[in-house]
A and B are shown apart, each in its own frame.
Chain A
């Protein structure tokens, strides 16, 4: 098993771990964190699969570089939406989910 494949398999495990957290937790900050773990798993899969051979494939690497910056900015936007919801309602869960 090459090092790249180990990274990719780890990414798949991180993805399912994040999916579990996203479903199980109702707190929005926990959901955002879980979603980021899923995203990191996806990046790890892309980067890992791209470097199984001797010369790494630059296209997935460029995609991940793009993805990281988008993920960071989307996370910031999600956090400020959560904060706005909290300021407006005193809750940090979505309607219909567990009470804060």
Chain B
């Protein structure tokens, strides 16, 4: 069922240096290097001259923290003050995974390949750490309300657990996405969007939670976001694994 690929087709050619040769980039590497170094020096020089204050935004955030529903300022910015960014972010994630599902090689559905055979050590390690990782993801989600943590960190840990499961052969390759996978990919964005629209209809601005219930709404959104982010990142990984039929002409 799981075939092993000895040869990372697209990466095989990485060993040889291929220098860009498009007509308008024919200038020598040294010149590119000098220009890039000059840009870096210019950026650094500008930064060294910046005034040491961050403007009045931190004070605004601090002044409105009691209305945000959480006590950690980064989470308040992410899910409340600038919730719009986060809503668009999960939309971008969804677009990326839709793109991967759309252009993935057909062979990714029928088994795919693993970069290495799952050894006994990897299997044992996966058994040990995956339950712990799920626990850590739950903790990070809970911690986000009052200290560094939240949906993104928790989703990333869940995704790492999924990658381990895939590498140890426990998780099947990306099957033609069934209902539950689709629902899982979508639920974070759908719940977030529903809450945002609901707030608009209820009379306030888009994503402006009533101060008393802000914490509850943020918790609901973060929990569904965690699930979706984890599933999306795992799908990106599994969908991008090398299928057997992908060997190109350059491979000997």
Contact = CB atoms under 8 A, between A and B. Distances in A.
Contacts of A27: 13-14, 18
A80 to B, nearest CB: 5
Contacts of A57: 54-55, 57-58
Contacts of B96: 73-74, 76-77
A12 B44 contact: yes
24 contacts: A12-B43, A13-B40, A16-B37, A16-B43, A17-B36, A23-B20, A26-B18, A26-B21, A53-B52, A53-B54, A58-B73, A59-B61, A59-B82, A66-B78, A73-B233, A79-B240, A80-B99, A81-B103, A83-B105, A84-B104, A86-B246, A87-B248, A90-B249, A98-B21
A80 B104 contact: yes
Interface string B237-252: 1011010011011100
Contact of B13 (A76, A77, A92): A92
Given A15-B43, A53-B52, A98-B19, A20 B36 contact: yes
Interface majority SS (helix, strand, loop, mixed), chain A: helix
Contact of B20 (A26, A76, A80, A91): A26
A65 B240 contact: no
| Contact count band on B | 35 or more
Interface string B71-93: 00110111001100110010011
| Contact count band on A | 35 or more
Given A86-B10, A90-B248, 6 more contacts: A12-B43, A15-B43, A58-B74, A59-B58, A77-B99, A98-B19
